[in-house]
Amino acid sequence: MKYLKQFLIILAITFLGELVKYLLPFPIPASIYGMILLFAALMTGIVKLEQVRDTGRFLIEIMPAMMIPAGVGLMVSWDALKKMLIPVIIITLVSYFPVQIVTGHIAQFIIRRKEEKVNE
Amino acid sequence: MSNFLNDSLFAGVSISLIAYMIGVFLNNKYKMPLFNPLLVSVILSIVVLIVADVDYEVYNAGASYLSWFLTPATVCLAIPLYEQLHVLKKNWFAIILAIVSGVITSSVTILVLSKIMKLNHKEYVTLLPKSITTAIGMGLSEEMQGYVTITVAVIIITGVIGNVLGEAVCKIFRITHPVAKGLSLGTSAHVLGTAKAMEMGDVEGAMSSLSIVVAGLMTVASSIVFSNLI
């Protein structure tokens, strides 16, 4: 019963996310609105962590399995992929590095400066 | 036989999950990022469908019930975010600014490379979510009318790159602070980068898992602007 109750709370919030998506004009998936709503509900105490935690963790743990059908869909989009295969490979490889380097160095720079200030 | 498969609602789900379990098994046994369970299961499922001569539509009639869980599961990412709030609070300025910079770097790099290689709008928006978690990236690609399945493939491959090369990049480019290492891995390589970060240490792991959600949300915001540029 506990899991069903938790699942119901999660589904209800997901539904509210769909409702927000329906009302707002942005290209934002319903899941993002739902995530923000659940976060707000946890922050304000409307939903307690114990009321969603176990089922939520389970869903997150098995999340990769939910993406299999989309991945298998490559079968049907092979024609589209074939046309852009080389740019896709180049962009995927090349763009990885600047993202990691910039993120790491900006974080490091700010934290180090803060630590120096504390030490002074 | 293939007639029966064409009518079965449970064949698709079973094939997917068996393939996934094989992927998990290989991943545990050989600790190699190339044996990413999702990657293995997608390839195995495609092979099975081609060998058994089953159409994707038939497979997906059953397998789509798996995808159905993705939206509520993504909503649940709010839970780890809430649990790690204390980590965020401590260094919030550095964390937010670093992730924003990473997200903008990602969008700008993809924009410039797409322009150079003359990709069209649909191809370009397919690639925009490449650094974020599949759960958010899939929905985003769908909203922007990209090729969702290609987005998924690119996201997984980006994650594998991060898992394999992320630690070396930290060394070569002198990213030494544990917080910075975690943020850089999570922002550039989502869940698979986080798996690596967790091996590197607790702080790295917590920071990386936090950046999955934050970078995902910010990429959604930045894509609203960037998707109009090609």
Q: Within this chain, do residues B63 and B88 fall inside the same structural domain, yes or no?
A: no
Q: How many CA atoms lie within 13 A of A29 on its CB side?
A: 28
Q: Select from B22, B48, B68 the last residue of a domain.
A: B68
Q: Do B93 and B182 reside in the same domain of the chain?
A: yes
Query: For residues B33 and B170, which has the higher predicted lDDT (pLDDT)?
Result: B170
> B60 with B97, same domain?
no
Decide which of B120 and B198 is more confident.
B120
Q: How many residues does chain B have?
A: 230
Residue B1 pLDDT greater than 60, yes or no:
no
Instruction: Please check the confidence at residue A118 and state whether its pLDDT lies above 80.
Output: no
| Average pLDDT estimate for B113-122 | 91
Last residue of a domain, one of B37, B68, B99: B68
Domain C-terminal end among B10, B41, B68: B68
Does residue B49 sit in the same domain as residue B91?
A: no
**Domain annotation covers residue B73:** no
Q: Is the pLDDT of residue B2 over 60?
A: no
CB contact under 8 A, A75 and B56: yes
If phi > 0 it is left, if psi is from -120 to 50 it is alpha, else beta; for residue B134 that is: alpha
d(CA B38, CA B157): 11
Q: Please tell me whether residues A113 and A85 are part of one structural domain.
A: yes
- Residues B108, B192, single domain; the answer is yes
A27 and A56 in a single domain? The answer is: yes
Contact with chain B for residue A45, Cβ under 8 A: no
CA distance A63 to A70: 12
Q: What pLDDT score was predicted for residue B104?
A: 95
Calculate the average pLDDT of chain B.
88
Average pLDDT over residues B126-155: 89
Structural domain boundaries, residue B190: 78-226
Whether residues A34 and A60 fall in one domain:
yes
Q: What is the pLDDT averaged over residues B102-117?
A: 94
Select the more confidently predicted residue: A17 or A64.
Answer: A17
Same domain, B162 and B56: no
For residues B49 and B85, state if they share a domain.
no
- On whether both B34 and B133 belong to a single domain, the answer is no
Whether B89 is covered by a domain: the verdict is yes
The verdict on residue B186 lying in a domain is yes
Q: How far apart are CA B26 and CA B78, in angstroms?
A: 30
H/E run at residue A48: none
> B91 and B147 share a domain?
yes
Shared domain for A19 and A56, answered yes or no, is yes
Asked if B117 is an interface residue toward chain A (Cβ–Cβ < 8 A), one would say: yes
- Phi-psi map region of B133: left, alpha, beta (phi>0 left; psi -120 to 50 alpha): beta
Compute the average pLDDT of residues A37-60.
94
| Residues B9, B105 within the same domain | no
Percent of chain A with pLDDT over 90: 57
How many C-beta neighbours within 10 Å does residue A31 have?
A: 26
| Cβ–Cβ under 8 Å, residues A95 and B110 | yes
CA–CA distance, B215 with A107 (Å, rounded to integer):
14
Say if residue B204 is in the same domain as residue B110.
yes
- Residues ≥6 apart with Cβ < 8 Å to B56: A72, A73, A75, A76, B49
Is A16 in the same domain as A40? yes
Residues A63-101 have pLDDT tens digits of 888 888 888 988 888 888 888 889 899 999 999 999 999
Task: For residues A22 and A47, state if they share a domain.
Answer: yes
Look up the domain containing A31 and give its range: 1-66
Query: In the predicted model, is pLDDT for residue B180 greater than 90?
Result: yes
Residue A59's pLDDT is what? 92
Count of residues making up chain A: 120
**H helix and E strand count, chain A:** 6, 0
Q: Select from B137, B124, B143 the least CA-distant residue to B191.
A: B137
pLDDT at site A22: 94
Instruction: Indicate whether B168 belongs to any domain.
Output: yes
Q: Do B67 and A69 touch (CB under 8 A)?
A: yes
Q: Check whether residue B168 and residue B205 sit in a common domain.
A: yes
Count of domains observed in chain B: 2
Question: With 70 as the cut, is the pLDDT of residue A33 above it?
Answer: yes
* Residue carrying the six token digits 């550039």: B188
Say if residue A56 is in the same domain as residue A11. Answer: yes
Q: Give the pLDDT score at B36.
A: 80
Cβ contact A102–B105 (<8 Å): yes
What is the rounded average pLDDT of the residues B48-70?
89
Answer yes or no: do B185 and A63 touch at CB < 8 A. no
Residue B108 confidence class, pLDDT cut points 50, 70, 90: very high
More confident residue, B53 or B31: B53
Give the tens place of pLDDT for each residue, B152-164: 889 988 988 888 8
Instruction: Show the DSSP H helices in A24-73 as ranges.
Output: 30-44, 53-61, 63-66, 68-72
Residues A47 and A101 in one domain: no
**Can you tell me the mean pLDDT for A24-49?**
91
The DSSP output letter for B17 is H
Average pLDDT over residues B179-207: 86
Average pLDDT for B20-33: 86
Q: Which of B171-175, B207-211, B219-223 has the lowest mean pLDDT?
A: B207-211
Which of the pair, B202 or A44, is modelled with greater confidence?
A44
Residues A2 and A24 in one domain: yes
Q: What pLDDT, on the 0 to 100 scale, is given for residue A37?
A: 96
Q: Does A17 touch chain B (CB under 8 A)?
A: yes
Instruction: Give pLDDT, residue B22.
Output: 93
Closest by Cβ to A98, choosing from B78, B93, B105 = B105
- In whole angstroms, give the CA distance from residue B136 to residue B132: 7
In chain A, the number of structural domains is: 2
Specify whether the backbone of B222 is left (phi greater than 0), alpha (psi in -120 to 50) or beta.
alpha
The CA distance from A72 to the nearest CA of chain B, in Å, is 5
ipTM of the complex: 0.88
